[in-house]
Amino acid sequence: MAFLREEYDTVDDPVRFRAEVADFVERATTADRWWSWLAEDGGAVVGGLSMLVQEVPPHPRDPRRLDGFVFNVWVAPTQRRQGIGRRLVDACLDAARADGLRRVALVATDDGRSLYEAAGFASDPDLLRLRLDP
């Protein structure tokens, strides 16, 4: 939730939002679809990364059936630029490879873009998104 507090200063109903996020994470974790990594320093959490793993149909040239989408990469402001984010990303990608995921995607902030590009992520000019109004 630290990431959400930092990124989204205003939420109409923070109690309801926190409950909805907790419900989502609990259900996804129970289904082994929510993978998370934490970075600690002296017993205190100083960073974290979560990835939602989803089943996808096989591709004619790649029969693997799992993709990952990285959410909530966060490092405490006082701990940034010390390699913690890179170690979290590397751990995530190592697990994705070991478990046979086909692709891993994320939405990069301007601050994080160089970290992800250094780890091998690249922009996809073929991907189009449409945000639907509620």
What are 5's two structure tokens?
């507090």
Global pTM?
0.84
Higher pLDDT, 31 or 103: 103
Tell me the pLDDT tens digit for each residue of 41-56: 999 999 999 999 999 9
Instruction: Give 133's contacts (C-beta < 8 A, 6+ positions apart).
Output: none
What CATH number does domain 2-118 carry, 3.30.110.30, 2.170.120.12, 3.40.50.720, 3.40.630.30?
3.40.630.30
User: Could you write out the DSSP letters of every residue in 112-129?
Assistant: THHHHHHTT----TT---
User: Could you write out the DSSP letters of every residue in 87-105?
Assistant: HHHHHHHHHHHHTT-SEEE
Higher pLDDT, 134 or 3: 134
Tell me the pLDDT tens digit for each residue of 56-79: 999 999 999 999 999 889 999 999
Helix (H/G/I), strand (E/B), else coil: 20 = helix
Tell me the pLDDT tens digit for each residue of 74-113: 999 999 999 999 999 999 999 999 999 999 999 999 989 9
